[in-house]
């Protein structure tokens, strides 16, 4: 009989890192107009970075104990003061190893310039420059694999989003979904690539996490239809959408986040349900709520796999894991900002 010994769970996030420049203004300037705005906030962001921070923070069982190893593979511009003073400290104080982040001589750090129009109820206008997220290492599957191989072993979970090149993401899905590498993929297709994700690339994905818009776009994609724009308020029936991902693409766990309503979950082995969202007194800012959910859920799965159990057996724990990730995301929506609003696990106790 072989005994499986628990080992330290390991997660690798392969994704985007951004600096967010958020300017609040009473109204947007017209072409050629200069206007005095209210404030400028510069903060660390990018879905990859946010989810890495969420994985890291969810693994702090106390202020001094971290029970999961979290690595980030990403790219920023070389000698970028915003990286050294903002992004890197945010990741590292959240328990994320930054050794595999490339500092590129050829591209600048990705950025999002966000204009928040206070007069119109906080409507956003966002300009994204992908920069290093779409260059160098992030377009080079060979070097990403080399960075993964440099780690002691493959992680239990690889977390992917949609903010690095589509080709790289599809290659990573093929690489890990074959099952030979031992690492499982948690994929949050946000944003959904305009050309979607071919069915055969999605096949075998362990965990697929989508919000209400993304699930419709992804369902269209696997049906071979154009991803298209999704009209808000489309009558969403998660119980009809989720089985398509199990039956057609062999996805093991499908999670559909429903904002304040919580999360619909469905497993390949037939367990389904909705875990209601946590009621909060006041929603301050929902930025990074989805990323918080993804990071907390991925960490729960990594812990489970590292204990030596197979993902099929996770059915017994899925509701508890969703519920905890909901609690973390509910705390996030009560705080302003992106990365800084993601709670540490010990904050939830
Ligand atoms: P995204 O931010 O990616 O669009 P959602 O809006 O579905 O994703 O939110 C992700 C998760 O955050 C939800 O499943 C829920 O757990 C939590 N959440 C979002 N909005 C609220 C809210 N108003 N109250 C409580 N929890 C919320």
Q: What are 170's two structure tokens?
A: 């599809």
* Residue 200 lies inside a defined structural domain of this protein: yes
* Residue 156 lies inside a defined structural domain of this protein: yes
291 is in an annotated binding site: yes
Nearest one of 109, 97, 98 to 46, comparing CA atoms: 109
Q: Are 55 and 342 in contact (CB under 8 A)?
A: no
Please identify, by atom number, the ligand 1 atom nearest to the C-alpha of residue 258.
7
pLDDT of residue 2: 54
203 is in an annotated binding site: no
Which residue's CA is the closest to the ligand 1 atom numbered 21? 260
> Which H/E stretch holds residue 266?
strand 263-267
pLDDT of residue 74: 98
Query: Each residue's pLDDT tens digit in the chain (349 positions)?
Result: 555 556 899 999 999 999 999 999 999 999 999 999 999 999 999 999 999 999 999 999 999 999 999 999 999 999 899 999 999 999 999 999 999 999 999 999 999 999 999 877 778 899 999 999 999 999 999 999 999 998 888 999 999 999 999 999 999 999 999 988 889 999 999 999 999 999 999 999 999 999 999 999 999 999 888 898 776 666 789 999 999 999 999 999 999 999 999 999 999 999 999 999 999 999 998 999 999 999 999 999 999 999 999 999 999 999 999 999 999 999 999 998 889 999 999 999 8
**Beta pairing partners, 104:** 77
277 is in an annotated binding site: no
Residues lining ligand 1, judged by CB closer than 6 Å? 211, 257-260, 262-263, 277-278, 280, 283, 286, 289-290, 293, 326, 329-330, 333
Q: Report the predicted TM-score, pTM, of the whole model to 2 decimal places.
A: 0.95
Nearest one of 103, 126, 153, 150 to 22, comparing CA atoms: 126
Centre of ligand 1 from the C-alpha of residue 124, in Å:
18
112 is in an annotated binding site: no
pLDDT of residue 228: 85
What is the ipTM, given to two decimal places?
0.98
Which residue's CA is the closest to the ligand 1 atom numbered 10? 290
pLDDT of residue 140: 92
Centre of ligand 1 from the C-alpha of residue 254, in Å:
16
* Residue 32 lies inside a defined structural domain of this protein: no
Q: What are 36's two structure tokens?
A: 């005095």
pLDDT of residue 120: 75
pLDDT of residue 4: 58
Which residues are the active-site residues?
291
The total number of structural domains in the chain stands at 1
* Residue 311 lies inside a defined structural domain of this protein: yes
Segments forming the whole domain that contains residue 203: 47-104+130-342
- How far apart CA 197 and CA 96 sit, in angstroms, is 28
* Residue 214 lies inside a defined structural domain of this protein: yes
Do strands 157-160 and 184-187 pair parallel, antiparallel, or not at all (unpaired)? parallel
* Residue 142 lies inside a defined structural domain of this protein: yes
Pocket test for ligand 1, best of 277, 280, 321, 337 (most atoms within 8 A of CB): 277
- The CATH number for 51's domain is 3.40.1190.20
* Residue 21 lies inside a defined structural domain of this protein: no
Q: What are 106's two structure tokens?
A: 């050829």
Centre of ligand 1 from the C-alpha of residue 168, in Å:
28
Centre of ligand 1 from the C-alpha of residue 20, in Å:
21
* Residue 16 lies inside a defined structural domain of this protein: no
Q: How many other CB atoms sit within 10 Å of the CB of residue 199? A: 15
């Amino acid at each position: 009989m072989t005994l499986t010994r628990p080992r330290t769970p390991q997660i690798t996030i392969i994704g985007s890192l951004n600096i967010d420049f958020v300017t609040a203004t009473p109204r947007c300037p017209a072409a050629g107009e200069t206007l005095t705005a209210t404030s400028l906030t510069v903060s660390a962001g990018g879905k990859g970075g946010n989810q890495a921070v969420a994985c890291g923070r969810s693994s702090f069982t106390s202020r001094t104990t971290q029970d999961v190893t979290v690595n980030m593979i990403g790219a920023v511009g070389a000698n970028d003061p915003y990286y050294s003073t903002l992004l890197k400290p945010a990741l590292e104080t959240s328990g994320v190893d930054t050794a595999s982040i490339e500092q590129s001589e050829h591209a600048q750090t990705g950025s999002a310039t966000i204009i928040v129009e206070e007069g119109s109820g906080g409507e956003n206008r966002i300009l994204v420059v992908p920069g290093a997220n779409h260059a160098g290492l992030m377009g080079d599957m060979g070097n990403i694999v080399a960075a993964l191989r440099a780690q002691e072993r493959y992680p239990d979970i690889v977390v992917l989003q949609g903010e690095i090149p589509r080709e790289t993401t599809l290659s990573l899905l093929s690489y890990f979904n074959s099952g030979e590498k031992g690492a499982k993929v948690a994929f949050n297709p946000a944003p959904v690539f305009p050309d979607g994700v071919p069915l055969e690339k999605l096949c075998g994905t362990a965990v697929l996490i989508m919000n209400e818009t993304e699930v419709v776009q992804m369902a269209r994609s696997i049906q071979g239809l154009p991803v298209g724009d999704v009209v808000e308020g489309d009558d969403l029936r998660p119980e009809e959408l989720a089985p398509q991902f199990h039956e057609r693409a062999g996805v093991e766990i499908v999670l559909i986040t429903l904002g304040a309503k919580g999360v619909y979950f469905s497993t390949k082995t037939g367990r389904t349900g909705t875990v209601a969202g946590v009621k909060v007194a006041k929603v301050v800012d929902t930025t990074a709520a989805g990323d918080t959910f993804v990071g907390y859920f991925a960490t729960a799965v990594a812990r489970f796999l590292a204990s030596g159990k197979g993902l099929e057996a996770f059915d017994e724990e899925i509701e508890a894991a969703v519920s905890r990730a909901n609690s973390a995301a509910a705390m996030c929506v009560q705080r302003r900002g992106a990365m800084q609003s993601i709670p540490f696990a010990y904050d939830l106790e």
